[in-house]
Copies of this chain bind each other. A is one copy, B any other.
Amino acid sequence: MSEPAEKKENIPDASAGKGIPNGGSPAKTQEDFDLATIYVSDAQYNRNIYFDTSPQAVRLYLLYNHWALKVLLYFFILVNLSLAIFEEPALVSLPTWATMLVELLCLLVFTIRLVHYAKVIPREKFWKDPKNICIIIVLLLTLIDMIIYGALKAANLYSVRWSRVLRPLLLINVTEGRQLRRAFRSIRNALPEVSSVFVLFIFSVLMFSLMALKLLSKRGLKTIEGASYFTNYLEIVFDLYVLVTTANSPDVMMPAYNANSIFALFFILYILVNTYIFMSVFLAVVFNNYKKHLKEEIRQLVRAKRHKMARAFGVLQEQREEGGPPVVSHENWNKLVQQARPDISSAHRELLWRVCDDGNQGFIGKVAFVQLADLLNIEVITLKSRPHPLQSLIPSLYESKPSRLVCRVVQHRGFVITFDLIILVNAVFIGLDEENPLISNSEWVFLALYVLEILLKLYAFEPRAFFSKHSFWNWFDTIVVVAALIATIVNSALKSSGGYTSRQVLDIVFILRVLRLIRVVDGIKRFRAIINTLIRIGPAILTFGQLILVVYYVFAMVGMELFKNKVKFYEDATNPEKAYCGNPLLKGSTFAQLSYCKNNFNNVVSSFILLLELTVVNQWHVLGTGFATVTHKSALIFFVLFHVMVVIIIINIFVAFVLEAFFVEYSVGKGDLQTSLERKIEELELTVAQEKLEDNLVNAMETIDNDLGSGQSPTANLPSLLFKVASKRYRTVDALLQRMFEADLDPEDFAENDIPEDQAGNFENPTFGVA
């Protein structure tokens, strides 16, 4: 980096500014920096918390946002949710008092966190926020339920732990559940339109069912089970609803079709209208609403971010000349960034400053300051050009001709191709029977080759760069190979010692062997692009994981209360009850015939697996009918409701999200800020040569972002530090979402004048519209 010291001299004394209207005392106190830091980090992570600005509250708020407390909170939420494993009906039985005690502990932690939050924000705001009210109600109801349950249990009376359904609400309502709340909001927003399409769709199903009743009921047709076919209206409605999910096609049609080919027309028309057209319309409506409302939310988010940054500016601003615009000095800016992001290097900070202070004035105005939050969100990779440690230790050997030849061979494209071919041969060997001694011994050869490959690479490339945190495939490769080596050795040791092969160890060995093959994909450019896209949208998909978890949890709790122990699974194959899942009502049913007994609600794990099967849809009517047989016909409502909730709404939102993310990946280029940052890096001649990157073997393996580190040959005429913008990496899900819609957003939402003047100047807390 070039001389920051020299520049500092250019900065006039900060105290030169005077007569600042809004509390800008020339020397900023630690409180000011605390406050500004909070504004910046709130803007950076899109937190919209209306906190108290008193120094005390600010310190509490800084503590509130500490990562350790958040991890602790999520840990206890997880513990609270996992209690379902140990509660009746339990996978692993624990005494009631034990689970109750743990739950009490969880409740205590949640209460403390809530009290902490209440101390941070003004009282009236606390009581106005539905999130807090919701948490308080959940905590109270849980406590009441626990007392009632404990009392009834003590009196040996039947009781239900109904408050368990409420547990996932905590996941939604904690301050950090922003993404999840947004996902739920987009569902809620889509609901009015989805429901009118749904009513129309149900109307269509009812009409078709009525027609089927009139046309088919009097013909005396039989299903293959010998039951009467299409004679009961409600059963027809259910059958045709199932047909929409395609789960009973073509079976539901066959009796009519076998009787007369013309009836196929009825079913073709039905499938066309309801399965194809209506289901596409559902996707279209969900997608459209999702897009529309998300766009609106992101717009508000961007606006709120500007407000917060303007506020941070207000705290740190000083007046350089009478009547001139307020500015922030380099010194104060530096101190702020240091506090907001202690992890970034001073060189990196200097780079960011250069981007902000384009004119090299030593201070920046509001416009340049406001973009700091976005700048901090751009991931810049700092590369240290270091010589290979062997070069420092034994330079004569490392620089010798054979050593250089080895390095060149390893960096050659042929090296990758050779190992790709070895992997393919390995794949064939894995497919063959491993009990053949030739095959099992060949495994040692392959392992040796892979270890050799890694050692060669470590020889040719700088090890710290090879294992830099962005080198996904290097890490993957090394871990898999080393793990396979250990597991194979353990396996042979077990085998030769006692002639006994541990099934578990062998399974691990097999999995690791197959995992190794995945690397071949990375060698092909087209595939890499697709995989990178998938990896990039991965974190955002996690939000849907939480969404699914919440919905599954609620359905699992209800399902366990309704259906527990109605269907039993017997490990013992000789048990006669196994044939009908321990419930005589299931004798001869399709459910039992297909040996679905393990698909039951007897514990939370099998409930989740069952719900996943219902999500996949196929045979869900068999599962549903099975549980309806052992309880009551109305139990089908549970299964239909699950289908509507999960398959029609949530899966469609998931598909909408994937589609949108893909379109953004394909169409959105770099943002303005990113471009200006890259330009600045280039200007300062700190950029990584692009040709180097392209030709470089190791780089070709590092797919997540084109981190370098090992690209430079051991010549040292390059600057000792290089920067590179991680081209398309998003630090937060919010950032991806913002990027998704930035292209569509009205440019004026980013304009400085968007901040109302009456709010921009003073230090009062913002009033954000977003909950």
Q: A277-285, A679-687, A725-733: which lies at the B interface?
A: A277-285
**What is the distance, in angstroms, from A256's C-beta to the closest C-beta of chain B?**
11
Minimum C-beta distance from A223 to chain B (A):
9
**Residues of B contacting A257 in the complex (Cβ-Cβ under 8 angstroms):** 598, 609
- Decide if A659 touches B254 in the complex (CB within 8 Å): no
Q: Interface readout for A202-233 with B: 1 if CB under 8 Å, 0 if not? A: 01000100110111000000001000000001
Whether B534 lies near A277 (C-beta < 8 A) is yes
Q: Give Cα A469–Cα B619 distance, bound, in whole angstroms.
A: 47
A308 to B545, CA, bound (A): 55
Q: A197-B530, A248-B618, A616-B249 are in contact. Are A596 and B214 (CB under 8 A)?
A: no
Task: Kindly provide the distance from the CB of A529 to the nearest chain B CB, expressed in whole angstroms.
Answer: 8
- Given the known interface contacts A224-B594, A284-B658, A617-B246, the answer about A507 and B258 at a Cβ–Cβ threshold of 8 Å is no
**B594:A254 contact, CB within 8 angstroms:** yes
In Å, the complex CA distance between A26 and B618 comes to: 74
Q: Mark A174-218, 1 if CB is under 8 A from B, else 0.
A: 000000000000000000000011011001000100110111000
Contact with B along A240-257 (1 / 0, CB 8 A): 000000111111001001
Which residues in window 60-116 of A have CB below 8 A to B?
none
Q: Which residue of B lies closest to A517 (CB)?
A: B207
Assembled-state Cα–Cα distance A510/B215 (Å):
7
Q: Is the CB of A285 within 8 A of B662?
A: yes
What residues of B have a CB within 8 angstroms of the CB of A233 in the complex? Answer: 431
Whether A511 and B613, one on each chain, are in contact in the complex, defined by CB atoms closer than 8 angstroms, is no
CB-defined contacts of A530 to chain B, threshold 8 Å? 196-197, 200, 281
Contacts A594-B224, A595-B224 given; indicate if A431 touches B210 (C-beta within 8 A): yes
B663 touches A251 (CB 8 A): no
Is the CB–CB distance between A527 and B200 below 8 Å? yes
A258 touching B662 in the complex, CB below 8 Å, given contacts A214-B510, A271-B612: no
User: Does A456 have its Cβ within 8 Å of any Cβ on chain B?
Assistant: no
For residue A276, CB closer than 8 A to chain B, the reply is: yes
**Is A593 located at the chain interface by the 8 A CB criterion?**
yes
Q: What's the Cα separation between A734 and B596 when bound, in Å? A: 52
A513 at the B interface (CB under 8 A): yes
Neighbouring B residues of A596 by C-beta, 8 Å: 250, 254
A616–B514 touching, CB < 8 Å: no
In the bound complex, do residue A654 and residue B280 qualify as a contact, i.e. CB atoms below 8 Å apart? yes
Determine the residue in chain B with the shortest Cβ distance to A537. B277
Tell me, yes or no, whether A606 is within 8 Å of chain B by CB: yes
Residues of the B chain whose Cβ atoms lie less than 8 Å from the Cβ of A158: none
**Across the interface, which residues of B come within 8 angstroms of A250, CB to CB?**
596, 599, 613, 616, 618-619
Chain B residue nearest to A261 (CB atoms) is: B605
| Residues of chain B lying within 8 A (CB to CB) of residue A510 | 211, 214-215
- A211, B534: Cβ atoms under 8 Å? no
Alpha-carbon distance between A250 and B620 when the two chains are bound, in angstroms: 9
> Is A609 in contact with B215, judged by CB distance below 8 angstroms?
no
- Whether B280 contacts A655 by the Cβ 8 Å rule is yes
**Residue A526 CB within 8 A of the other chain:** yes
Provide the bound-state CA to CA distance between A224 and B622, in Å. 16
A743 interfacial by beta-carbon distance below 8 Å: no
Smallest CB gap from A430: residue in B: B210
CB of B616 within 8 A of CB of A261, answer no
**Chain A contacts with B in 729-749, Cβ cutoff 8 A:** none
| Contact of B268 with A612 in the complex, beta carbons under 8 Å | yes
A214 touches B658 (CB 8 A): no
A288 at the interface (CB under 8 A from B): yes
Q: Are A514 and B207 in contact (CB under 8 A)?
A: yes
Q: Is A518 an interface residue (CB 8 A)?
A: yes
For chain A, residues 326 to 370, give those with C-beta under 8 angstroms from any C-beta of chain B. none
Residues of B within 8 A of A200 (CB): 521, 527, 530-531
Minimal beta-carbon separation of A622 from chain B (angstroms): 9
Within 8 A of B (CB), among A255-301: 257-258, 261, 264, 268, 271, 275-277, 280-281, 283-285, 287-288
List, in ascending order, chain B residues with CB within 8 A of A518's CB: 207
A200 to B264, CA, bound (A): 37
Query: In the bound complex, what is the Cα–Cα distance between A288 and B211 (angstroms)?
Result: 40
Asked whether, in the complex, the Cβ of B215 is within 8 Å of the Cβ of A619, the reply is no
Question: 4 additional contacts, CB 8 Å, given A199-B527, A214-B430, A275-B616?
Answer: A196-B527, A249-B613, A249-B619, A258-B569
Q: List 14 A-B contacts (CB under 8 A).
A: A200-B527, A210-B427, A210-B431, A210-B514, A211-B510, A214-B430, A224-B594, A224-B595, A246-B617, A261-B605, A271-B612, A275-B616, A284-B659, A287-B659
Closest 5 CB pairs of A and B: A214-B510, A284-B662, A280-B658, A249-B618, A196-B526
